[in-house]
Amino acid sequence: MNARFHLYHYASPATFYPLAGKLIPVFAALAVVFGLAGLYLGLLVAPTDFQQGEGYRIIFIHVPASWMSMFIYLVMAFWAAIGLAFNTRLSGMMATALAPTGALMAFLSLWTGALWGKPMWGAWWVWDARLTSELILLFLYIGFIALQSAIDDPRRADKAGGVLLLVGVVNVPVIYFSVKWWNTLHQGASVSLTQSPSMATTMLWGMLLMALCFWMYSIAVALMRVRTILLERERHTEWVKEMLAGETK
Amino acid sequence: MIHWNSFADFLAMGGYAGYVWGSFGATALILILEPLFIIRRRKETISRLKRQMRAELASSSRNSVE
Amino acid sequence: MLKIVAAVIGRDLKLAMRRQADIVSALFFFVIVVSLFPLGIGPEPDLLRKLAPGVLWVAALLATMLSLPRLFADDHRDGTLEQLALAPHPLGLVVLGKVVAHWLVSGLPLALLAPVLGLQFDLSADALLVLTGAILLGTPALSGIGGIGAALTLGLRGGGVLLSLLVLPLYIPVLIFGAGAVDATVTGLGPEAHLSLLAALTFAALGFAPWAAAAALKIALE
């Protein structure tokens, strides 16, 4: 019960704003530490892959970016559900703050995937089920951002975005399986990421560290963005006015 | 520990330099630019809100009947 | 319950009949888009036969999108929608009625027209039959999912383009199984699996989408 109380306490914008401000440096520092360790292992220590040569090192950012792009969408849907169910203001803002980062992660996943695919598969793009689903995920992010930016009233933007996210999250598995099925029916060149041989421990650690780095980065960036959104939305409240008056430029 | 024999080897990435550095470079660029853009937007927002607040204060002191 | 749905269907059909030009325009759009493809690709019958399922289905997706922005907009403008939202019966049923009416004036005519266009692509009689069946089975799902997009973008600037941005990615499963059914017939695999999945998508869409659209409408009307 105690934890619950705290959660409600921090769900109030006036307490969340300074708390987020304190947390951002923590997550940013963690992102840098994990990132440096991951890059050290991934780029400097990890041995050459006997099939893919040095080109495989792209997966140290490709896989974390793909994971984050999917995970962020789920987190956004989670906040959307909370926001619609309990009518909390902050949850909608969290979803809004996460969306650009999720879209960038999806883009990075496609970009690094193309750069990995060209030497490995001989093509920048293949209509592989995972690539196609990732592309559709990017479309879903763009749709969410476009919808929210077309709505002037922030409360309506939050709720409409929330409905879209929930519809999207129900559809994501359907889309994924239909694309997968479509892919097996139209099998041209049979390529699959899953065939890659079992990874050496250093590679696995490097990838995990990079994934942690991307995760911490996403949290830090989302908190930074949500603080600006909070200021704009709550500009007529006392706490924002006090804060602005107290803050020296 | 270090897998590479020389720095030039490291840069060449076994012939995959363009692909590997293209990926890492784009990622680094985005992960650095995104926070910078957010910080800039935050500064703009704060200065705009301050300006608005000053304007409101000025107008409310002028017609204090409201 | 059924009475409300039927009443809404009847009313919307009557309104649609007053604007027959809209229905005909969407159909002509479908015909023109499909006819442009051979001009862009070339007249080789083998190639056209292979492309036909995809081309016809993508054109059908786009044609059903055309009338979506008006699904709720007219009722919103004259205030009917607000009254419907305040009425005691669930708004989801009203939306279901509107979705069914939308299908009757968009999806159904497309299904009847598609086999004629399929002839241009040298499809066999079997494939034409499956094409008609697949469009009949799949387009209700399009109207349902489209209803959510129409409700979300109600009254927004640039609503039409935004609507397509939101809805088209969600149409992908219908496109895959719809075109897949025809494709499977052409290659001799048999369309049953695709058609049953299409039917499942349509039932799921008609079961869930109206309620999601009703929630979105309530948000838009607040």
Integer CA distances (angstroms), A39 to A19, A62, A207, A210, B61, in order: 30, 13, 9, 7, 58
Query: Is the Cα dihedral A148, A150, A156, A162 positive or negative?
Result: negative
pLDDT at A8: 60
- Bridge partner residues of A49 (DSSP): A53
What pLDDT does A10 receive?
Answer: 64
Name the region of B13 (left: φ>0; alpha: ψ -120 to 50; beta: rest).
left
Interface touch A58/B27, C-beta < 8 Å: no
A203 to chain B, closest Cα gap in Å: 12
Say yes or no: ipTM exceeds 0.95.
Answer: no
Contact C158 A179 (CB under 8 A): no
As a whole number of angstroms, the distance between CA C66 and CA C157 comes to 16
Write down which chains contact chain B via at least 3 CB pairs under 8 A: A
Among B23, B41, B50, beta carbon nearest to A62: B23
Query: Contact at 8 Å (CB) between B65 and A248?
Result: no
Give dist(CA C49, CA A83) in Å, integer.
49
- The amino acid that residue A214 corresponds to is F
Question: What single string gives the DSSP state of each residue in A169-224?
Answer: HHHHHHHHHHHHHHHHHT-SS---GGGSPPPPHHHHHHHHHHHHHHHHHHHHHHHH
Contact B30 A100 (CB under 8 A): no
Contact A231 B46 (CB under 8 A): yes
DSSP designation for A49: B
Mean pLDDT of all residues in chain C? Answer: 90
How far apart, in whole angstroms, are the C-alpha atoms of residue B50 and residue A233?
14
> A49 to chain C, minimum CA–CA distance in Å?
36
Q: Is C96:C121 a contact under the CB 8 Å cutoff?
A: no
Distance from CA of A78 to the nearest CA of C (A): 16
What's the pLDDT band for B66 if we cut at 50, 70, 90? very low
Q: Do chains B and C touch (3 or more CB pairs under 8 A)?
A: no
Give mean pLDDT, residues B7-30. Answer: 88
Cα separation, A33 vs B14, in Å, equals 27
Q: Do chains C and A touch (3 or more CB pairs under 8 A)?
A: yes
Q: Which residue, among A94, A50, A91, has the nearest Cα to A196 in the 3D structure?
A: A50
d(CA C63, CA C57): 10
Q: How does B40-57 read in b/e, with b if 16+ C-beta sit within 10 Å? A: eebeebbeebeeebeeee
pLDDT value of residue C130: 93
Rg (Cα) of chain A, in Å, rounded?
21
Distance from the A194 Cα atom to the nearest Cα atom in chain C, whole angstroms: 24
pTM of the model: 0.89
Residue type at A187 in one-letter notation: Q
Q: Is residue B43 part of a domain?
A: yes
Task: Give the range of the structural domain holding residue B12, as residue numbers without chain letter.
Answer: 7-62
Tokens 């030497």 correspond to what residue? A119
Q: Give C99 to chain A, closest Cα distance, Å.
A: 17
How far apart CA C77 and CA C87 sit, in angstroms, is 18
**Which helix (H) or strand (E) segment is C63 a member of?**
helix C45-66
Kindly state whether A9 is in contact with chain B, defined as any CB-CB distance less than 8 angstroms.
Answer: no
Q: In this complex, is the C-beta atom of A81 within 8 Å of any C-beta atom belonging to chain C?
A: no
- How many CA atoms within 13 Å lie on the side-chain side of A76? 35
CA distance A219 to chain B (A): 12
Q: Is the pLDDT of residue A13 over 60?
A: yes
- For residue A150, give the nearest of C156, C173, C201 by CB distance: C156
C216 is written with which tokens?
């979105």
Question: Domain total for chain B?
Answer: 1
CB contact under 8 A, A217 and B31: yes
How far apart CA B35 and CA A39 sit, in angstroms, is 20
Mean pLDDT (whole number) for C139-146: 95
Q: First CA to last CA across chain C, in angstroms?
A: 25
Domain residue ranges in chain A = 20-46+55-188+200-246
3-state secondary structure of C189: coil
Best mutation target among A163, A165, A170, A176 (most C Cβ atoms within 10 Å) is A163
Question: CB distance A44–B31 less than 8 Å?
Answer: no
Using the beta-carbon criterion (under 8 Å), do A136 and C201 form an inter-chain contact?
no
Contact A182 C180 (CB under 8 A): yes
Q: What span, in angstroms and rounded, lies between the C-alpha atoms of B21 and C212?
A: 45
Taking contacts as CB-CB distances below 8 angstroms, the residues of chain B near A113 are: none
Question: Inter-chain contact A232–B45, Cβ cutoff 8 Å?
Answer: yes
CB A125 within 8 A of CB A131: yes
Among residues A37, A54, A101, the alpha carbon closest in space to that of A75 is found at A101
Cβ distance A178 to C168 less than 8 Å, yes or no, reads no
Rounded CA-CA distance A198/C184 in Å is 37
CB-closest option in A147, A156, A175 to C173: A175
pLDDT > 90 in chain C, percent:
59
* Stronger pLDDT, A236 or A249, i.e. the higher one: A236
- Give the span between the Cα atoms of C63 and C26, in whole angstroms: 6
Mean pLDDT, range A13-29, rounded to an integer: 91
- The verdict on residue B2 lying in a domain is no
pLDDT in tens, C161-219: 899 999 999 999 999 999 999 988 888 888 888 899 999 999 999 999 999 999 999 99
The model's pLDDT over A57-101, given as tens digits with 9 standing for 90+, comes to 888 999 999 999 999 999 999 999 999 998 888 999 999 999 999
Query: Does residue B12 lie within any of the structural domains?
Result: yes
- Percent helix, strand and coil across chain B, each rounded to 5? 85, 0, 15
Q: What b-and-e string marks burial along C69-103, b requiring 16 or more CB atoms within 10 Å of the CB?
A: bbbbbebbeeeebeebeeeeeebbbbbbbbbbbbb
Read off the pLDDT of each residue in A121-138 and give the average, rounded to a whole number. Answer: 85
pLDDT one-digit tens code per residue, A159-205? 999 999 999 998 888 888 888 878 776 654 444 444 455 567 888 88
Contact B31 A249 (CB under 8 A): no
Average pLDDT, chain B: 85
Q: Hey, are the CB atoms on B13 and A55 less than 8 Å from each other? A: yes
Residue A21 has pLDDT above 50, yes or no: yes
Q: What is the C-alpha separation between C94 and A110, in angstroms, rounded?
A: 41
The number of beta carbons lying within 10 Å of the beta carbon of residue A63 is 19
Residue B54 forms part of a structural domain:
yes
Categorize the per-residue pLDDT at C4 as very low, low, confident or very high, splitting at 50, 70 and 90: confident
| Residue of chain C minimizing CA distance to A134 | C169
| Alpha-carbon gap, residue C22 to C130, rounded angstroms | 27
Tell whether the model's pLDDT for residue A51 goes beyond 80: no
Q: Alpha-carbon distance A136 to A121, whole Å?
A: 21
* Tens digit of each residue's pLDDT (9 = 90 or more) over C72-97: 988 898 888 888 888 888 899 999 99
Query: What is the nearest CA distance from C18 to chain A, expressed in angstroms?
Result: 31
Q: A44 in contact with B at a CB cutoff of 8 Å?
A: yes
The verdict on a CB contact (< 8 Å) between B3 and A221 is no
In single-letter form, the type of residue at position B15 comes to G
